[in-house]
Amino acid sequence: MIPHFQKMLDQLKGILEHPVSLGALLKNLGLIKFGFTDMSIVEAAKEQFAEKWVILTDERCLYTDFNNDLPVIYFSRILTNQNYFDTSRFIGE
């Protein structure tokens, strides 16, 4: 499993922070369910979707609510080795 984490860390080194406007957050209905932090991540991923951002979460509800619209990896799948890098529907692999 170590090579998978190293691959992820190598990818993360090239990612920059992306500010999300308060207005965008307040328009998001998920704000009440998930809070500011998670919705900031979702909004940043939506805005940068062309850049192929992936959300890594350990919250099952976040994963199930957004998995069909955005590339989301449920962290528990990494731990149990269940198709965690299958983002082909988003990046055309």
Q: In this structure, is residue 11 part of a structural domain?
A: no
Residue 89 has pLDDT above 60, yes or no: no
For residue 72, count CB atoms less than 10 angstroms from its CB and return exposed for 0-12, middle for 13-18, buried for 19 or more: buried
Identify the bridge partners of residue 57 per DSSP, sorted by sequence position. 74
**Residue 23 phi/psi, 5° resolution?**
-60, -40
Whole-number pLDDT of residue 93: 44
For residue 70, count CB atoms less than 10 angstroms from its CB and return exposed for 0-12, middle for 13-18, buried for 19 or more: middle
Span 12-55, pLDDT tens digits? 887 777 788 899 899 888 899 999 999 998 888 887 665 667 88
Q: In this structure, is residue 58 part of a structural domain?
A: yes
Provide the number of structural domains found in the chain. Answer: 1
pTM, entire model: 0.61
Task: Name the token pair of 46.
Answer: 């939506």
> Which residue range forms the structural domain that includes residue 26?
21-91
Q: In this structure, is residue 13 part of a structural domain?
A: no
